[in-house]
Amino acid sequence: MAADVLHMTATEMARLLRDGEIGAVEVTRAALERIEAVNPALNAFCLLLPERALAQAADIDARRVRGEPLGPLAGLPVALKDYTPTAGLTTTYGSRLFAGHVPERDAVIARRLVGAGGVLVGKTTTPEFADSWFTRGAQFGVTRNPWDPSRTPGGSSGGSAVAVATGCVALAEGCDMAGSIRGPAAFCGIVGLKPALGRIPFDALPTTFDDISHFGPMARTVNDAALFLGAVAGPDPADLFSYLPPLELSLPVEADASRMKLAFSPDLGFCAVDPQVAREVRAAVEALRAAGATVEEVDLGWRVEDAEAFFTATLVWMAALYGDAYDRGADRLEPLTRRLIEMGREVDGVTLKRLDFVRAGIWRKLAAVLADYDALVCPTMAQPAPRLDRDDFDYGHRTADGRLAALDMTGLFNLIGACPALSVPAGRTDEGLPVGLQIVGRPQDEAGVLRVGRAVEIVRPQPAAPQPSAPQPSAPQPSAPQPCASLPSL
C-alpha cells in the first residue's frame, strides 16, 4: 500500500498518516525505494539520508501511538535543495569549491520543515550557486526532465521539481531568485510558489537585506503547496523582511472561479512566446472564463529594457556573493559561473542603483492593474523545456521585431518581491511537455493566488508526470551524473 500512497497528494498522505492508516516508516521506506529506482536515470538527489530518515519516521510512529501531538507534515517524505544550509549535512551549493562543506546551522525553513514532522530523505541537485535554468554541473552531473530525459527540468530547483514530479517525496523546498521555483515547476508539470518576500524567512546568504530571494514550496497540488506554506511561514530574526502581516490560509483552498476577476497578459508586452505555450495558456484562460471568471487582456506597459535591467542586477548579485569564490578558485567554477561573475564585475554602482527606477516603474504599472483585478495571469515560461544540448546564453537575445527571446517570464516578479507568484500546470505541448500558467497576486496575498491556482486545477486538470523505473536518455548528453552521495547516519 505504501508505494500507492506515494502517488497521492501530500494532503491525502498526511491524513492517512495522521489517522494511523499507514505508518511513517512504511512510507519512508517506499520513498527511499522510489528514489533508488528513479535517481540513476534522472539524478534528482545528490545526498541521501536513509538511516536518519527511518529513525525520524520511527519516532513519529511511536509518538502517534503514545497520543502525542504531531505536526501538520508528520510522516511526509520531504527534500531540501543543496543550496539550503543544513546543520551537520553536506551543503555544496552545487559547486566543487564547496564539496564536503558542512554548515553549522540549519536555515529556518529546514528547521521548520523537520519540526512540522517532515521526514527529510535527502537533498536535491542544483546548478552551481543556483545560477542556471539547467540543473547540471561537474559536481553532480546532469539532472533530467521526467517527461523527456533529453531535456532539462529547469533550474535552479530542478532536482526538487523532479523529486516531487516522480513521487520520490510528497513535498520539496526550492529557492527562487529569478524563477528558480516557478520555472522547474512549469517544466516538470507540478506546482511551485514564490511567496511574498519574507513570508518564509530567507537566510541562505550572508546578507539579511537581499530582496529578490525567496524560499517556497514545490508540490503536486495547490492544496499541498498551501499545506507546506502554512507549516513554515512566519517571522524570524534571521530575516528582517519576514515581519509581515499574518498569513491567512484555508485548507482545502477554496476556489470559485465565478467570483474571480483576472487580468491576462499573453506576453508581458515584450516576450517572444512559443506558439504551443501560448496556445495552452490561452486554453487555461478560456477554461476559467467558461467557469464564470472575468478574464480581460491587459497591457502592462512593460518594456524589454525592464527585463534586461533585471538581468544586469542578477549579474551584480552573482559577482557580489561569489566573487570571493572566483578569486579563490576560478578554475574550479563552472564556465557559466565564471562568465556571470566577470560580467557582473563590469557593472558600475550608478547603473546598479538606477535599477531602482526600473523597479519603481514596473511596480507602479502592475499596481494600477491589480487595483482593478484580483490577480494577473500569464505564461510561467516562454518556451517548453529545452534540450540539454542548449545553454543559458542561447536565450535572452532580441528577435528581429525587437521582442525578447528569453526562456522565462518570471524574473521581473522578483523585482517586486512583495507580490506572490504561483506556477500551476496549464497544459502540454504536442510533444507532451508540460506548460505552466503563472498567477501573480497583490502584495502578501498568497491566499489569492492559491485560490486562482486551485480554480485552474479544477477547470484544466493535468496528468501526473510519468513514473519511470529506469528510463534511458534518448540522446547522449554533456556529462553523466556522479553517484548520489549517501549519508547513512548522523
For residue 274, which of 160, 169, 407, 146 has the smallest C-alpha distance?
Answer: 407
Specify the number of domains making up the chain.
1
Q: What is the mean pLDDT of each run of 10 residues along the chain (490 residues)?
A: 81 97 97 97 98 98 97 98 98 97 98 98 98 97 98 98 98 98 98 98 94 97 98 97 95 96 98 98 98 98 96 96 96 97 97 95 98 98 98 96 97 97 98 98 98 98 71 38 34
According to the model, what pLDDT value does residue 479 have? Answer: 37
According to the model, what pLDDT value does residue 3 have? Answer: 66
According to the model, what pLDDT value does residue 160 have? Answer: 98
Buried b (16+ CB within 10 A) or exposed e, 244-278: beebeeeeebebebeebebbbbbbbbbbbbbebbb
According to the model, what pLDDT value does residue 474 have? Answer: 39
Pairing of strands 191-194, 214-219: antiparallel
Tell me the one-letter amino acid at 280. Answer: E
Angstrom distance (rounded) from CA 352 to CA 37: 47
According to the model, what pLDDT value does residue 476 have? Answer: 33
Cα distances (Å, whole numbers) of residue 481 to 43, 140, 143: 7, 6, 7
According to the model, what pLDDT value does residue 470 have? Answer: 41
* Terminal-residue alpha carbon distance, the chain: 29
Q: What is the DSSP string of 225-291?
A: HHHHHHHH-S-BTTBGGG--SPP---SSPP--GGG-EEEE-SSTTTB---HHHHHHHHHHHHHHHHT
According to the model, what pLDDT value does residue 480 have? Answer: 36
Angstrom distance (rounded) from CA 209 to CA 128: 22
Q: What is the pLDDT of residues 463-474, one digit of tens each?
A: 887 765 444 443
CATH of residue 126:
3.90.1300.10
Catalytically annotated residues: 81, 156, 180
Exposed, middle or buried by CB within 10 Å (0-12, 13-18, 19+), for 344? buried
- Write out the residue range of the structural domain in which residue 161 sits: 2-486
According to the model, what pLDDT value does residue 1 have? Answer: 58
According to the model, what pLDDT value does residue 2 have? Answer: 62
| Helical H segments across 116-157, by residue range | none
According to the model, what pLDDT value does residue 486 have? Answer: 35
